[in-house]
Amino acid sequence: MNHAVTMSNVHKVIDNFQLESIHLEIEKGTIAALIGKNGAGKSTLLNMIMNLFKTDGGDIQILGQSVLGEDESWKKNVAYLPQKLPLIVPFTGHEMKELTARWYPMWDESLFQKIILLFGIDLSANFKKLSPGTQQQLNLALVIARNAPVLILDEPTAHLDIPSKQVLNDLLIEWMDNGERTIILATHQVEDIQKLADYLVVLKDGHIAGQFEKEELIETYKRYWFSEPLEIPTLPGEVERKESSLVTNRPTEAEDFLRNENVRCSNTQTLELDEIVTMLLVK
């Protein structure tokens, strides 16, 4: 069993929104970035993995165990940080830590203290008086220190300042090195994807539009520049055409095509990840 999370034919209707027949396999030992435009269904999908939203059908497994049955022992294998926490917390950081640590047998106190120190969090302050960024830092410390083999984070860097984002990315990379662990993170931040993700899972209007290995994806997209205005038919894999440039995601076929058409390009370039992500989400 090589999968940390699988979803088979999962579907769900919530008011006017529909998650359509989701098939997803997240390999153990990898980091998957779940990306999609606002309202694409990322948080809904993560809530369904955690069985917080009931499915209308299909199956979801974490480390081979269905999350939909009576047996809830799968919960020890996953730590989840939702985008929005539903509670107004009347506790200090110290109290929150005591309450959380008690529930989780794999709690790693030294990791927790290390994260608190790295972020510089005052644990004696009341949670509700902390800034949104500091609240997010504390929530991250509470969730990462649970040390579950599967970590699910919904927009973990949304409120963090630039140095804290770096701290978190370094922490997560180090955390991954320490055993067979898996992270799924929903994010809008290209830096998170760039630094962390092995795979990108693209969600569009409630369906999975594709799952891509990041390095392969970067190799796949190419832009060709031409010194003369273009008058050629659509290229294989063409995803963008401007006056003197073309982008394709099937470069080998596109280059054969250009040769056959006797068209020479003046320059070729790979694309930045943010451009590729934009094309994946809007085209």
Ligand X SMILES: Nc1ncnc2c1ncn2[C@@H]1O[C@H](COP(=O)(O)OP(=O)(O)OP(=O)(O)O)[C@@H](O)[C@H]1O
C-alpha 281/C-alpha 174 separation (Å) is 30
Least gap, CB of 43 to ligand X (angstroms) = 3
Amino acid at 228: E
- Measured between alpha carbons, how far is residue 35 from residues 5, 204, 219 in Å? 17, 9, 19
C-alpha 158/C-alpha 81 separation (Å) is 12
Nearest CB to ligand X, comparing residues 18 and 92: 18
Least gap, CB of 34 to ligand X (angstroms) = 8
* Counts of helices then strands in the chain (DSSP H, E): 9, 14
Least gap, CB of 224 to ligand X (angstroms) = 33
Nearest CB to ligand X, comparing residues 206 and 251: 206
Residue 224 near residue 245, CB atoms below 8 Å: yes
Residue 174, H or E segment: helix 162-177
Nearest CB to ligand X, comparing residues 15 and 215: 15
Helix then strand then coil, % of the chain, to nearest 5: 35, 30, 35
Least gap, CB of 39 to ligand X (angstroms) = 4
Least gap, CB of 243 to ligand X (angstroms) = 33
Nearest CB to ligand X, comparing residues 206 and 237: 206
Residue 262, H or E segment: none
Q: Which residues bind ligand X (CB under 6 A)?
A: 14-15, 17, 36, 38-44, 83
Nearest CB to ligand X, comparing residues 12 and 223: 12
Least gap, CB of 52 to ligand X (angstroms) = 10
Least gap, CB of 44 to ligand X (angstroms) = 3
C-alpha 122/C-alpha 107 separation (Å) is 20
Nearest CB to ligand X, comparing residues 83 and 270: 83
Residue 112, H or E segment: helix 109-119
Name the residue among 114, 115, 45 with its Cα closest to residue 80: 45
Residue 11 near residue 19, CB atoms below 8 Å: yes
Nearest CB to ligand X, comparing residues 40 and 254: 40
